[in-house]
């Protein structure tokens, strides 16, 4: 497949389509089937929101709270929420400031040149802030402190949008979009992927990047060497002509969400890696395995210029992406490590929690329609007094995949070679095969097929685990289940999981409930389920990322893709979510992105007085739906020039820092 196969689509739209390409044709139960078996369609939230009685006996949706009643529903969040809508700039709740911390092209390294969008180069980009910032993590400085005004910001750069990055990318002829890509432009794209690590400091109430910091670092897909570690390292399926050892790879791709470990390292989650590869998958020796991952996707022109991104020229390179990458931000000379023990799939994130017995647990969703929820349990235990001892904890342990039962219970199914169907007779010759083909292993053991599991948040205060299920328009009426109860689900839902005993994340059983079914509660056809105290602005569609602040409060961000106007009528943003008591299931709208953008990376400082968020791909996704615009954005004519609003300056993905005017805890 070549780039022309995606002509006429924005990069974000190609990514949205990608959630179909690795089709799961297993006979495993879907979450919708399970929900229906457990509660029935009408009473799907009976257990989760029993105190709110969201539905009458006739199944009608309860009315939204309005006016005085809505404002009286304060709960844990006292701010006055913003309104649904779409505009060329961002909007934050009254009483808060939302400042740009760093933009695409701003300097990261001290010798970085000034950003010049008309004269870009790969060498410059590797010293500048990369494109499409996604996950944000904060590591306090000094190390081992709980500092809330000085630290390292770790930021993923997920992907690139050529049509607004480079001039002249849309050709006049139909079907020739991106046909003008050159090797130089491809190398700029590669350099714009990866991560930025920045020392930041708060002085005089404002945050800024420490420009000459020795910690500042750019990790690039183009040139950063990485080690491959764990059970798959050095095995035949990881070897290439450039790396006959199978133990090193250059770069990391499509880093979506991620995590920060208790020992202060940074986890980057490789998601839609399949789109970077070219070739004829049907001619590949492992054609069926590639197809299960949707590879080759052919979204970029990289395979035209670099053999390693062509599956017929370098057949094993594709196996070296789709992992969790661990980086030590406190050592700018350290080599990042791809931790194969955590499995290969389209990782949306890597949420880390230390179990009560000291084992480390990492939760991760596989962002594809009908794919799975996973957790990894370390073999060793965390030692708070010995950082060096913790540095390789993620190389040994057990990967599990989730099965949700109709009675509200669940099981973690081990993905261990030799157990059950994970044998050579079924195509798994070793544990390396199980991990490289984690999706197929999940198929084999009977995991539950979900509605795009994206970010997963583990609450260290309550030990509840929240799974963001973004949407699934491919689910049919006869394939619904308990945790995915709606056919043609455009709106998504949030599932709440409770580990065995309330606090044992290592246990192989859990219970589950539904926090909410997203979408417009005024439209009976949607089948949304919210607390009736939710205002007309407090509901949302397509939950994607989440953050749990240090008080145990849940914050949710959304990704509606190009269908934002149909899904909710508002741009994406940040919502505060009530999870307990009589207001459980109530949302409040806190921050809204500019048109065409996605809301990513919510991250709090240890005192909860600063919230960092990542505004990704402004002006691109669904820009044609923006009132008065009506067309796709280009470099020359974008729907917004946020955040600079200067003629000739393209829209620039940016990190925004939110603080309360006069100081104080965010949301209070």
Q: Which pTM was predicted?
A: 0.93
Q: How many CB atoms lie within 10 A of CB 549?
A: 23
Residue 156 CB: number of other CB atoms within 10 A?
33
Q: What is the mean pLDDT of residues 17-42?
A: 66
* pLDDT over 60 (residue 60): no
pLDDT tens, residue by residue, 196-225: 999 999 999 999 999 999 999 999 999 999
Confidence check: pLDDT of 481 > 50: yes
For 582-619, write each residue's pLDDT tens digit. 999 999 999 999 999 999 999 999 999 999 999 999 99
The confidence score (pLDDT) of residue 174 equals 43
Mean confidence (pLDDT) of the chain: 92
For residue 27, pLDDT beyond 90: no
Residue 355 has pLDDT above 90, yes or no: yes
Question: How far are the Cα atoms of 49, 547, 605 from residue 668, in angstroms, in the given order?
Answer: 24, 16, 15
pLDDT for 631 equals: 95
Structure tokens at 584: 């459980």
Reported confidence tier of residue 61, pLDDT bands at 50, 70, 90: very low
Q: Which pLDDT score, from 0 to 100, does residue 78 have?
A: 96
pLDDT-derived band at 336 (thresholds 50, 70, 90) equals very high
pLDDT grade for 41, boundaries at 50, 70 and 90: very low
Task: Give the percent of the chain with pLDDT over 70.
Answer: 90
Residue pair 458/553 in contact (Cβ under 8 Å)? The answer is no
Number of C-alpha atoms within 13 angstroms, CB side, residue 448?
Answer: 28
Mean pLDDT value across residues 500-514:
98
Q: How confident is the model at residue 12 (pLDDT cuts 50, 70, 90)?
A: low
Sorting pLDDT into bands at 50, 70 and 90, what band is 73?
low
Three-class SS state of 477: helix
Instruction: Output the six-digit token pair for 332.
Output: 């700018």
Give per-residue pLDDT as tens, 271-292.
999 999 999 999 999 999 999 9
Strands (E), 441-597: 450-451, 453-458, 465-469, 493-499, 509-517, 543-548, 554-558, 573-577, 587-592
pLDDT over threshold 90, residue 28: no
CATH tag for 3-660 (out of 3.60.70.12, 3.30.70.270, 2.120.10.30, 3.30.1490.20): 2.120.10.30
- Radius of gyration (Cα) for the chain, nearest Å? 23
Q: What is the DSSP letter of 277?
A: -
């Amino acid at each position: 497949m070549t780039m022309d196969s995606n002509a006429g689509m924005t990069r974000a739209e190609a990514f949205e389509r990608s959630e179909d390409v690795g089709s799961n044709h297993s006979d495993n139960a879907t979450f919708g089937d399970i929900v229906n078996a457990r509660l029935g369609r009408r009473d799907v939230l009976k257990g989760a929101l029993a105190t709110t009685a969201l539905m009458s006996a006739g199944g009608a949706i309860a009315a939204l709270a309005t006016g005085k009643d809505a404002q009286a529903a304060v709960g844990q969040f006292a701010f006055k929420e913003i309104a649904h809508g779409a505009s060329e700039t961002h909007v934050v709740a009254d009483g808060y400031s939302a400042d740009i911390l760093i933009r695409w092209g701003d300097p990261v390294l001290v010798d970085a040149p000034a950003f010049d969008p008309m004269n870009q180069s790969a060498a410059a980009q590797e010293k500048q802030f990369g494109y499409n910032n996604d996950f944000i993590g904060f590591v306090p400085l000094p190390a081992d402190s709980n500092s809330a005004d000085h630290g390292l910001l770790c930021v993923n750069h997920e992907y690139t949008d050529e049509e607004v990055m480079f001039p002249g990318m849309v050709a006049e002829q139909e079907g020739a979009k991106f046909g003008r890509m050159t090797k130089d432009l491809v190398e700029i794209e590669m350099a714009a992927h990866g991560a930025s690590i920045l020392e930041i400091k708060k002085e005089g109430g404002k945050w800024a990047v420490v420009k000459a910091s020795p910690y500042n670092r750019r990790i690039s897909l183009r040139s950063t060497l990485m080690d491959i570690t764990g059970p798959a390292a050095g095995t035949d399926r990881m070897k290439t002509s450039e790396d006959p050892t199978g133990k090193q790879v250059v770069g990391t791709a499509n880093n979506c969400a991620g995590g920060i470990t208790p020992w202060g390292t940074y986890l980057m989650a490789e998601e839609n890696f399949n789109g970077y590869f070219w070739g004829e998958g049907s001619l590949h020796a492992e054609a069926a395995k590639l197809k299960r991952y949707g590879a080759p996707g052919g979204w970029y022109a990289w395979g035209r210029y670099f053999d390693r991104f062509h599956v017929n020229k370098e057949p094993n390179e594709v196996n070296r992406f789709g992992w969790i990458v661990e980086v030590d931000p406190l050592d700018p000379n350290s080599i990042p490590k791809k931790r194969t023990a955590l499995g290969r799939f389209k990782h949306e994130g890597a949420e880390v929690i230390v179990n009560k017995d000291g084992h480390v647990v990492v939760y991760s969703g596989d962002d594809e329609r009908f794919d799975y929820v996973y957790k990894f349990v370390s073999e060793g235990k965390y030692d708070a007094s010995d950082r060096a001892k913790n540095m390789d904890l993620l190389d040994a342990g057990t990967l599990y995949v989730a099965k949700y039962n109709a009675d509200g219970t669940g099981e973690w199914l081990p993905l261990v070679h030799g157990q059950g169907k994970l044998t050579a007779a079924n195509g798994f010759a070793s544990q390396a095969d199980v991990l490289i083909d984690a999706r197929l292993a999940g198929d084999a053991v009977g995991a539950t097929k979900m509605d795009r599991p994206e970010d997963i948040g583990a609450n260290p205060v309550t030990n509840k685990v929240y799974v963001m299920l973004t949407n699934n328009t491919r689910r049919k009426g006869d394939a619904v289940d308990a945790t995915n109860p709606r056919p043609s689900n455009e709106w998504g839902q949030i599932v709440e999981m409770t580990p065995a005993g309330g606090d044992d994340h290592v246990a192989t059983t859990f219970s589950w409930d539904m926090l909410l079914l997203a979408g417009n509660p005024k439209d009976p056809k949607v089948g949304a389920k919210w607390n009736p105290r939710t205002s007309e602005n407090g509901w949302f569609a397509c939950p994607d990322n989440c953050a749990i602040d240090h008080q145990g409060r849940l914050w949710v961000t959304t990704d509606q893709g190009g269908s934002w106007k149909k899904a909710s009528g508002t741009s994406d943003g940040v919502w505060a979510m009530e999870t307990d008591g009589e207001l459980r299931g109530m949302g409040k709208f806190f921050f809204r992105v500019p048109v065409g953008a996605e809301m990513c990376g919510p991250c709090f400082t240890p005192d909860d007085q600063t919230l960092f968020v990542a505004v990704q791909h402004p002006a691109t996704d669904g820009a044609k739906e923006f009132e008065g615009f009506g067309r796709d954005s280009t470099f020359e004519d974008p729907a917004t020039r946020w955040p600079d609003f200067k003629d000739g300056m393209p829209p620039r993905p940016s990190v925004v820092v939110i603080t309360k005017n006069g100081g104080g805890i965010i949301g209070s």
